[in-house]
Amino acid sequence: MIKPTFSTLIILTFVSVFLLLPFVFSPLYIPALREQAFELHLILQGNVYKQITGYASLVFVILEMIFTLRKRGRGWKLPFKIPGDIQLWRQLHIFLGVGLLATTLIHTVGVTGLNFNAIFLWVFFGVTLSALVGVVAETGVLESPRRYFGKSPVKDTAHSQGLMKQLPTFTKGELIRGLRTIWLTTHILLVSAFLVMLGFHIFLSYYYV
C-alpha cells in the first residue's frame, strides 16, 4: 500500500482549512439562517438531526480507534488478528480524520458552542491538526532528495569545523524521530483528553434531552 504523497497531504490540509472556515464565520451566517430560514434552523438544531449526525461522527471516531488497535495489536497479544496491512490502516486513519472533521461540521453546523462544548471542539481541532501537520512534515522529509538537514557535514569539514559544531546536522531518520517526539506526543495527549471529553459530551447530551 502506497502512502499518501506530500502533494496529496497538502490537498488534505487545504480541505481541512476549508472545513474549519465555517466555524470562523458561523457568527455571521447563523443569525442570517435563523432569520431567512427559521424552519431549517430548527431542524439543524433539533434532537433528531443532532443524534443522527452525532452517531455518524461517533462511527468515525470508532474507526479511528481501530487504527490504534491494528497498530498495537501485536504488543497487546490479542486473541484475534485484525486484517489489512499497517500502511492501509495508516492511510485510512488520515482520510478518516478529515472525514471526521467534515461530519463534525455537519453535526455542529459550524457553531463552536459555549463552555464545555467549545473547549471540547477546540481539543478536537487540536487532535486533527496535530496529526495532519505531523504527517505532512514527516512525508515532506521522506520525499526530500536531501540526505542531511542542517549544514552538510562534508561542506562543514571543508570550510569550518567550528561552524559544524554550531549548526547540527540531522539525517532523515533522526529528523523524523525528533519531529515525531514532538507532534506524536502532543497528538496522543490531545486524543486522550478528547476521548474523556467525548464521554462527558455523550452523557450530557442524553442527560439534558
What are the tens digits of pLDDT across the range 127-144?
Answer: 999 999 999 998 888 888
Higher pLDDT, 73 or 19: 19
pLDDT band with cut points at 50, 70 and 90 for residue 125: very high
Q: What number of CA atoms fall less than 13 Å from residue 181's CA on the CB side?
A: 6
pLDDT of residue 87: 73
Domain parsing of the chain, residue ranges = 1-111, 116-209
Verdict on whether the full-model pTM lies above 0.75: yes
Strands 148-150 and 169-171: antiparallel
Q: Is the pLDDT of residue 193 over 60?
A: yes
What are phi and psi for residue 166, nearest 5 degrees? -80, -35
Higher pLDDT, 117 or 162: 117
* Alpha-carbon torsion angle 175, 195, 66, 208, nearest 10: -150
CB neighbours of residue 191 within 10 Å? 19
What percent of the chain clears pLDDT 90, i.e. is strictly above it?
Answer: 43
DSSP bridge partners of 148: 171
pLDDT of residue 80: 56
Q: Is the pLDDT of residue 1 over 60?
A: no
pLDDT of residue 73: 55
Mean pLDDT computed over every residue of the chain? 83
Question: Dmax of the chain from CA atoms?
Answer: 74
